[in-house]
Amino acid sequence: MLVLGIESSCDECSAAVVEDGRKVLSNIVATQIPLHAQYQGVVPEIASRAHTRWIEGVVREALEVASIRPDQLDGVAATYQPGLIGSLAVGLSFAKAMAFALGKPFKGVNHMLAHLYAPRLAGDIAYPFIGLLVSGGHSIICRAEDFDRIDVLGTTIDDAVGEAFDKVSKYYGYGYPGGQVIDELAEKGDDKAFRFPQPSLHKGNHRYDLSYSGLKTAVIHHLDDYRRQDAEASPENIAASFRKAAIDMLLTKLLLAAQDTGINRIVAGGGVAANAYLRRQLASRGDLEVHFPPLALCGDNGAMVAGIAYRYFQRGESDGLDLAPQSRVPIYKRGAGGEKTA
């Protein structure tokens, strides 16, 4: 089965053709980073306009690279939630129009479930597992029972982890987007130069929750309070110490969830899953079975959309052309209400 997957939830305009939910025949990712860099953050209006200009060319290239004619496709899919509404609308409308014109089934896909599917493009993974979904907009620890069934165990109560990397980098002028820049600087720094506090979060029902606004504020406004002896406040040392604090918090909660549930299989996804320290720390755990997406599939991409859509199509599930884009999924953010299962 050949599926075209389109991803336009934020600042990557991407399309991919994937065979049988596994074999990536093409995965074109047109990044808008240069368009947003001068603002040090994604500007929604600029993002949706760029998607509108680029989407046709990106889809055309995905088909060409895969050597597939549109009529050979068995289905068309696009991300419909969560994300920037104007950006989502472009990829979603394009996918629906294409499916309608071709007379093929259409499927709308959840962006976070697609991120969690990315490692499955590289090989089979058994369920259940503990999922770590970490991106610019979300930080979620979940229990996954199937590709479309997760139970959110913990989530951030304020900023997402990727957002904290981006904001720290923006403040110090290290570069945009901040995650990769800080990760690279950190490789050359001393992670003990500053000792940033871990947040004291409420326990009980929310013992896997995360919080990044305190760490961000400490790194940005109270740096000297956490400096150790005569440690130098170099970009490398700040980056290394911040990265350690940010990722250690994820690891603590993730390992707690694994221990409590007795599930030792961990699957990571999302832009922050590219983090070198996170990958090293988890890979060094002999007691865990850990799966990461390949680096090229950590960030936003169409392949994960096409991959997960195949699983729905395989079950005979598709969506109507009236499916609307949604910017938020309430269960992914603490305090926003809603049920606990997606």
Binding residues vs ligand KG4 (CB under 6 A):
10, 135-137, 162-163, 165-166, 177-180, 183, 270-272, 274-275, 299-300
Residue 106 bridge partners (DSSP): 76
With respect to ligand KG4, which residue has the nearer C-beta, 107 or 138?
A: 138
With respect to Zn ion, which residue has the nearer C-beta, 234 or 326?
A: 326
Q: Are 293 and 121 in contact (CB under 8 A)?
A: yes
Q: Is 226 helix (H, G, I), strand (E, B) or coil?
A: helix
What does the DSSP 8-state code read for residue 323? P
Binding partner at 159 among Zn ion, ligand KG4, none, C-beta below 5 to 8 Å by kind: none
- State the CB neighbour count (10 A cutoff) for residue 280: 10
**Phi, then psi, of 265 in degrees rounded to 5:** -95, 125
With respect to ligand KG4, which residue has the nearer C-beta, 80 or 165?
A: 165
With respect to ligand KG4, which residue has the nearer C-beta, 105 or 136?
A: 136
Binding partner at 209 among Zn ion, ligand KG4, none, C-beta below 5 to 8 Å by kind: none
Part of the chain binding Zn ion (CB under 5 A), chosen from 56-64, 135-143, 182-190, 312-320: 135-143
Q: Which two tokens stand for residue 131?
A: 């999922």
Q: Which residues, 6 or more positions from 150, have their beta carbon under 8 angstroms from its beta carbon? A: 113, 116, 131, 142, 143, 144, 341, 342
Residue 98 Cβ, how far from ligand KG4 at the closest point, in Å?
23
Q: Which two tokens stand for residue 238?
A: 């700040």
Residue 162 Cβ, how far from ligand KG4 at the closest point, in Å?
3
Total residues in contact with Zn ion, by rule CB under 5 A: 2
Please compute Rg for the chain using Cα positions: 20
- State the CB neighbour count (10 A cutoff) for residue 261: 14
Residue 42 Cβ, how far from ligand KG4 at the closest point, in Å?
9
- The reply to whether 8 sits near Zn ion by the rule CB under 5 A is no
Residue from 130, 300, 310, 318 in contact with Zn ion (CB under 5 A): 300
Q: Which residues, 6 or more positions from 205, have their beta carbon under 8 angstroms from its beta carbon? A: none
Using a 10 angstrom Cβ sphere, with 0-12 exposed, 13-18 middle and 19 or more buried, the burial of residue 151 is: middle
- The reply to whether 7 sits near Zn ion by the rule CB under 5 A is no
Binding partner at 165 among Zn ion, ligand KG4, none, C-beta below 5 to 8 Å by kind: ligand KG4
**Phi, then psi, of 63 in degrees rounded to 5:** -70, -40
- Residue 245: alpha-carbon gap to chain centroid: 20
Residue 164 Cβ, how far from ligand KG4 at the closest point, in Å?
8
Residue 274 Cβ, how far from ligand KG4 at the closest point, in Å?
4
- The reply to whether 166 sits near Zn ion by the rule CB under 5 A is no
- The reply to whether 32 sits near Zn ion by the rule CB under 5 A is no
Instruction: Residue 166: name the closest of 216, 102, 210, 201 by CA.
Output: 216
Part of the chain binding Zn ion (CB under 5 A), chosen from 30-38, 204-212, 216-224, 294-302: 294-302
- The reply to whether 301 sits near Zn ion by the rule CB under 5 A is no
With respect to ligand KG4, which residue has the nearer C-beta, 99 or 116?
A: 116
With respect to ligand KG4, which residue has the nearer C-beta, 179 or 214?
A: 179
- The reply to whether 281 sits near Zn ion by the rule CB under 5 A is no
Binding partner at 158 among Zn ion, ligand KG4, none, C-beta below 5 to 8 Å by kind: none
With respect to ligand KG4, which residue has the nearer C-beta, 81 or 135?
A: 135
With respect to ligand KG4, which residue has the nearer C-beta, 29 or 63?
A: 29
**Dist CA 26 CA 248 (whole Å):** 35
**Dist CA 104 CA 50 (whole Å):** 27
Q: Which two tokens stand for residue 172?
A: 């110090």
Name the site residues for Zn ion (rule: CB under 5 A). 135, 300
